[in-house]
């Protein structure tokens, strides 16, 4: 094992997004010395829909994050789906595993809340700290720390490079995955890739209790062009504003080649007038980000480095949701690290660290495999047209779709729909 007298912490976490802050919180709560490194300073923005599914809410509850309305959250009852001339309101299911409501909060506030929660638990948060690469043991090649340098608000170098050392490093550094690529871990081209764009509007419907999903994204005029594989969303934030965006997905990297800002503009021209999505009400530009999906980078643990969140492609191919899985990854990683650091030998430590990948793949591998097949199906415009026209009017089908696409089902037990989804996830291979 590395000499603990030379270490700056028990664990270094790179990136203070949901995955990183979750990992830092859970590690600190277990009594570990945690160093959380973030290149920006809070509050800072991230491209996201800002809506949390019940699965994500359950993780916040585990962390003890205050989720009352006075804490800046708005609860939602479920999903309002529009498409094919139909409109359907689908409440979140009543389950033992997850609460029957979702939440929404702007990412500028949400990420700050999580990072502050981790710091309150004992994690040491260093902002304006840009991690530049891994530090590897010369003999074994194992990651034993990171190099970093201080930066200013614009990301410009503001000091000399520093080395931080720890027995294990968690890379929660987002889509760029700089630490993983520094270790030669390249993304897989056989995994889906999504792109999302979003902006904010002032709206009289800022307190709407439903998350709204528009299943028809036309690449031109409605009815006279192609349907895109994806959806548009309207998530009310309860503070006078709504988050409005769209996401599309491809079974390959082709998703990034679409002109999403033009697609967004076309959707806004046909958006429901009651939301008042006018130029005067728009707050800020339309911004976009890539969504790496379906465990598109791995291994999740190896040679002292754990990957969590977007750096490991932990975004669902079904709906573009990443926050719930990032929060979960932070929790599972912290448990594996706590167990590993309590072992008396290097071999015992590594066996415990390796349980992180196994637990994440056992829980999500089959589900993500189903998602990859789902993406291949909806890439065909005629399939999307059939689904929106004939699937939406059938409540039983839509309840199945809601549970499947939101990953909101009982993993064991539950009703017939839960058992079907759980069974399919278990038999689907984790490739």
Greater confidence (134 vs 398) lies with: 134
User: What pLDDT is recorded for position 2?
Assistant: 47
User: What pLDDT is recorded for position 412?
Assistant: 86
At 296-348, the pLDDT tens digits run: 999 999 999 999 999 999 999 999 999 999 999 999 999 999 999 999 999 99
User: What pLDDT is recorded for position 206?
Assistant: 97
Decide: 128 and 151 in contact? Cβ < 8 Å: yes
Beta bridge mates, 243: 200, 235
What's the mean pLDDT in 269-292?
92
Mean per-residue pLDDT over the chain, rounded: 91
Q: Give the pair of three-digit tokens for residue 202.
A: 């002032």
Is the pLDDT assigned to residue 221 strictly greater than 80?
A: no
Architecture of domain 4-76+104-189+294-371: 3-Layer(bba) Sandwich (3.50)
Bond before 299 cis per omega within 30 degrees: yes
User: What pLDDT is recorded for position 215?
Assistant: 84
- Nearest Cα to 236, choosing from 275, 266, 263? 275
Q: Rounded distance, CA 67 to CA 286, Å? A: 28
Indicate the pTM of the whole model: 0.94
- Nearest Cα to 246, choosing from 197, 318, 201? 197
User: What pLDDT is recorded for position 379?
Assistant: 79
Beta bridge mates, 168: 11
Q: Given pLDDT bands bounded at 50, 70 and 90, which one contains residue 361?
A: very high
Buried b / exposed e over 350-366, threshold 16 CB at 10 Å, is bebbbbbbebbbeebbb
Could you tell me which residues come within 8 angstroms of residue 140 by beta carbon, excluding any fewer than 6 positions away? Answer: 303
What's the mean pLDDT in 384-413?
81
Q: Given pLDDT bands bounded at 50, 70 and 90, which one contains residue 1?
A: very low
CA distances from 341 to 1, 13, 217, 275 (A): 10, 15, 49, 53
């Amino acid at each position: 094992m590395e000499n603990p007298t030379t270490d700056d912490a028990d664990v270094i976490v790179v990136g203070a997004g949901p995955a990183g802050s979750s990992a830092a919180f859970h590690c600190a709560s277990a009594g570990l010395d945690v160093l959380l490194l973030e290149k920006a300073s809070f509050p800072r923005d991230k491209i996201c829909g800002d809506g949390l599914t019940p699965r994500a809410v359950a993780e916040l509850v585990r962390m003890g994050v205050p989720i009352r309305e006075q804490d800046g959250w708005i609860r939602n009852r479920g999903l309002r789906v529009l498409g094919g001339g139909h409109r359907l309101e689908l409440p979140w299911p009543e389950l033992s595993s997850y609460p029957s409501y979702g939440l929404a909060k702007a990412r500028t506030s949400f990420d700050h809340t999580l990072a502050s929660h981790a710091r309150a638990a004992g994690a040491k948060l260093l902002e304006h700290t840009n991690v530049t690469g891994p530090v590897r043991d010369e003999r074994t090649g194992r990651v034993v720390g990171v190099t970093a340098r201080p930066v200013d608000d614009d990301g410009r170098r503001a000091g000399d490079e520093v080395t931080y050392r720890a027995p294990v490093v968690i890379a929660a550094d987002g889509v760029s995955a700089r630490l993983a690529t520094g270790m030669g871990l390249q993304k897989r081209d056989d995994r889906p890739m999504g792109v999302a764009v979003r902006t904010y509007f002032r709206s009289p419907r800022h307190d709407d209790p439903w998350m709204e999903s528009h299943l028809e994204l036309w690449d031109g005029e409605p009815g006279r062009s192609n349907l895109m594989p994806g959806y548009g969303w309207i998530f009310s934030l309860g503070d006078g504003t709504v988050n409005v965006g769209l996401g599309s997905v491809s079974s390959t990297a082709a998703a990034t080649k679409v002109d999403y800002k033009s697609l967004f503009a076309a959707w806004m021209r046909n958006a429901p007038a009651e939301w008042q999505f006018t130029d005067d009400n728009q707050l800020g530009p339309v911004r976009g980000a890539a969504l790496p999906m379906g465990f598109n980078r791995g291994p999740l643990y190896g040679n002292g480095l754990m990957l969590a969140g977007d750096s490991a492609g932990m975004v669902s191919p079904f709906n573009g949701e990443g926050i719930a899985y990032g929060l979960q990854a932070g929790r599972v990683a912290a448990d594996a690290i706590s167990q590993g650091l309590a072992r008396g030998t290097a071999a015992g430590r590594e066996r415990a660290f390796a349980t992180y990948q196994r637990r994440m793949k056992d829980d999500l591998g089959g589900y993500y495999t189903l998602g990859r097949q789902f993406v291949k199906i909806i890439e065909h415009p005629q399939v999307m047209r059939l689904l929106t026209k004939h699937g939406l009017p059938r409540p039983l089908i839509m309840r199945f779709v809601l549970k499947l696409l939101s990953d909101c089902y009982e993993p064991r037990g539950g009703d017939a729909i839960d058992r079907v989804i759980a069974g399919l996830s278990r038999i689907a291979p984790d490739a």
